[in-house]
Amino acid sequence: MAAVEIPQEEQAFLEYVQGGGQVETTDWMTDDYRAKLIKFIEMHGNSELMGVLPEREWILRAPTLQRKLALTAKVQDEVGHAQLIYRVVEDLGKPREQCLADLVDGKAKFHNVFHYPTKTWGDVGVIAWLVDAAAIISQKALLKCSYAPYARIMKKICWEESFHILHGRDVILAMVTGTPEQFELVQEALDRWWGPLMQFHGNPIPSDEDPMYLWRIKSQGNEEARQQFLDGYVPQIWELGLTVPDPKLRKRDDGVWEYTEPDWAELKHVVTGHGPKTQERLALRRGFLEQEQWVRDAVLAA
């Protein structure tokens, strides 16, 4: 039986991936597919790396040894994910150094949620529980990615993320069953994070206009992901006696969640580098990259 040959022509290649065909690193692919793949995967890597920054401050402030260890392990996973992801991008043709340079120069994007400040231990719980939940929904939609090396790392990433949600839920439960002040910390953090969470999956794009969907890089549209998030997590929020700061939020009889339209202008503004913490965090990354260039030179030199 002849090995499956990937057709070396644009339309035939599109049909191949749409029909469930898998692509490996050394296979032929269209320039457009490769370019879109690099951009999408790079943004994921950037997001994992930038996602570390809001959380690592709280590693130093964790109120028990167990929480300190769990939070360190969670953030460590995110760095590990960045490593896995940048390796995939590098094998597609864009070196890690270039990705990091583009990130700190503001030329590459990362997810909206990582542009916002963290203010209290309540944020630590809300991020691990809800932001990671939103992320895991997107990540599960990548498990069948047509580009096989990316699909394969997603399996490890999703497995590790499941620990984060458990940790987040545990942190939240400890606080909502603790003092009234601790309950209030969680509610206040939730009130601040709700807007970015609703924007996280992106504005609704029809599937047939979404290149990521057409090229079977992801298997789920933005709105579908958001609905899945609401369906999974709003009941969990409400059952703890917490409120969601959206008076319009409700589930219709047909199962669809209604909500106040997220501020898409804010989303665009933030991901293009104007979030409340964007420049400060990029500067921190840039500073450490520069300070430690000598280490990379010493280690990776022949």
Partner 1 sequence: MSHPVWEVFRQERRGQPFEHAGSVVAPDADFAEAWAREQYGRRGESVALWLVPRDAIRDVEDWADEFDLKYRRVDGYSIKARLKEARERAGTVGPG
Partner 2 sequence: MNEQALLGLADDELVLGWRDSEWTGIAPLLEEDVAFSSIAQNEIGHARAVYELLAGPDGDADVLAFDRRPEEYRCAPLVELHLLEWAHTIARRWLYEVADEIRITALKQDSDTAVAGLAAKIDREEAYHRMHAEMWHDRLRDEPRFQAAVAELWPHALGVLPAELRGELVSRVGLGEVEATERGTHTDELAPMWEEMTMVRRSAPAGAQW
We find the least distance from the C-beta atom of residue 64 to partner 2, in angstroms, to be: 5
Reading the block at residue 295, the tokens are 């280490």
Residue among 55 and 229 whose Cβ is closer to partner 2 = 55
How far, in Å, are 80, 191, 222, 237 from residue 271 at the CA level? 23, 21, 16, 27
Cβ burial, residue 86 (10 Å; 0-12/13-18/19+): buried
Binds 260, which of partner 1, partner 2, none (CB < 5 to 8 A, cut-off by type)? none
Binding window for partner 1 (CB under 8 A); candidates: 56-64, 104-112, 157-165, 216-224: 157-165
Residue 26 interacts with partner 1 (CB under 8 A)? yes
Q: How far is CA 164 from CA 54, 61, 161, in A?
A: 15, 18, 5
Residue 130 site contact among partner 1, partner 2, none (CB < 5 to 8 Å, cut-off depends on kind) = none
Q: Of partner 1, partner 2, none, which one sits near residue 182, judging by CB under 5 to 8 A according to partner kind?
A: partner 2
Kindly write down the DSSP assignment for every residue of 55-75, as one continuous string: HHHHHTT-SSHHHHHHHHHHH
Among 34, 72, 163, 223, contact with partner 1 (rule: CB under 8 A): 163
Stretches 185-193, 235-243, 259-267, 294-302: which one binds partner 1 (CB under 8 A)?
Answer: 294-302
Interface residue with partner 1, options 156, 250, 268, 274 (CB under 8 A):
156
Buried b (16+ CB within 10 A) or exposed e, 45-61: bbbbbbbbbbbeebbee
- The residues of the shown chain that bind partner 1, judged by CB under 8 A, are 1-3, 26, 73, 76, 80, 83-84, 87, 90, 95-96, 152-153, 156, 159-160, 163, 299-301
